[in-house]
Amino acid sequence: MNVFQGEISSLPPDKSISHRAALIGALAEGTTEITNFSGGYDNQSTLSVLRDAGISVRQEEVPVADGRIVRNVVIESRGLWSFSKPSGPLMCNNSGSTMRMLAGIMAAQPFRSELIGDASLMKRPMKRVADPLRQMGAAISLSAEGTAPVVIDGTKEIRPIEYLLPVPSAQVKSLVAFAAMHADGRSKIIEPIRSRDHTELMLGLETIDRPDGVREIIVEGRRPIAAKPFNVPADPSAACFMIALGLLGDRSEIVIRNVCLNPTRVAYIDILQEAGAGLVIENTRSEGGEPVGDIVVRSCSGLKPLRISDHTIVAGVIDEIPMLSVLSAFASGEFELHNAAELRTKESDRIDALVVNLQRLGFDCEQYPDGFVVKGRSGVVPEKAHIECFDDHRIAMSFAIAAEAAGASLELSDRDVAGVSFPNFFSLIESLRQ
């Protein structure tokens, strides 16, 4: 088993915050400066579609003292209706965040637009996008299967809405909020189960937490958004992979600097600590309205099996489940997941992808419509095995970490897909190897 030690100050900037900073900048009046913007493929797709929709976007790479390159983005806009009719379809590539949240903005623009993506994104469900926007007055058409292309006949007369989120989804919540900002009146988004709240924080939206645990988000339409600077902290979902590397490594200790510790993003840390993981949070502080801190992770030989079934917890760790499941399988031989049918609608069917690949690595697994269980090892981990990444960055990275833990030579079908969210993933692992 390999040893990994060192300090990480080059974790990718947060993907979710980067998307939202760019979209809010496109809706603001004036100049928005974004420091430490993500270089991942998905976030670059957001910048690309903004340019194609008439928004002025500049990006520059700036070397900093510790040798890193920081991407800074400058967006010039004139307010809510600064977009212009695209000359062709807006290509979102693999980014579901781009397609879904941008749809909320384009629904309020007085022209037709079309959102498309790569082969993977064109299979993902978009009815949850269309339903609220149709209620708000936009005409939305999808494929017969309810997938992209998303063709939007937008309207400047978008209507206010009171919308109960049918599933916990920060993307759907955000697209409704972005559309509601153009409406002539007050909108209310009702969220029975909390999802990541970056949009509310970054826009300064009023929120009401009811005694029954439901959150209401209030959006006052047609209020100008003043441009302001954003600084993007390190991505906690990316940190999960480095945490797993440290926990599974032999005599390893890794310090991960400047990680976003928003409570809606780091529930997985609580799960790991309760299971006995050697994790410590240090140097906590607030930056740009988001809690930030450093994570210290040390090797752990006694991690308890992870069992995740509470639907509120599942919603808070949905992006980290691939890595958590692989981590638990290799650390304890077991894992159990329920109430996570949403995983089947991600970049891949992540339930099936995880089970297929874990079985190839000698684990006894059984899957259900809403989850799966790893019952133990049905055989030894082969020295060489082929891992199918299914065009999914989180599947690729999770099993790359598994390979390091097992000391096995796993052949990934597509290493490069890690660049969707974590461009320096493999080089960072090598920099920590002792």
The CA–CA distances, whole Å, from 70 to 10, 34, 212, 261 equal 9, 11, 43, 21
CA pair distance 193, 209, nearest whole angstrom: 11
Contact 216, 207 (CB under 8 A): yes
Following DSSP, what letter does each residue of 255-314 receive, concatenated?
EEEEEE--TTT-HHHHHHHHTT-EEEEEEEEEETTEEEEEEEEE--S-PPPEEE--HHHH
Is 370 one of the catalytic residues? Answer: no
Phi-psi group of 233: left, alpha or beta (phi > 0 → left; psi -120 to 50 → alpha; rest → beta): beta
Report the candidate in 225, 224, 222, 134 with the shortest Cα–Cα distance to residue 186.
222
Contact 330, 374 (CB under 8 A): no
CA pair distance 75, 55, nearest whole angstrom: 7
SS3 151: strand
Q: What are the φ and ψ backbone dihedral angles of 320, each rounded to 5 degrees?
A: -90, -10
The CA–CA distances, whole Å, from 385 to 6, 245, 352, 362, 403 equal 29, 19, 17, 10, 10
If you count them, how many residues does the chain have?
434
The count of other CB atoms within 10 Å of the CB of residue 6 is: 17
Helices marked H in 56-140 — which ranges? 96-106, 127-135
SS3 163: strand
| Annotated catalytic residue, options 14, 42, 294, 319 | 319
Contact 288, 228 (CB under 8 A): no
Following DSSP, what letter does each residue of 212-268 receive, concatenated?
TS-EEEEEETT---B---EE--B-HHHHHHHHHHHHHSSS-EEEEEEEE--TTT-HH
Residues recognised as catalytic? 319
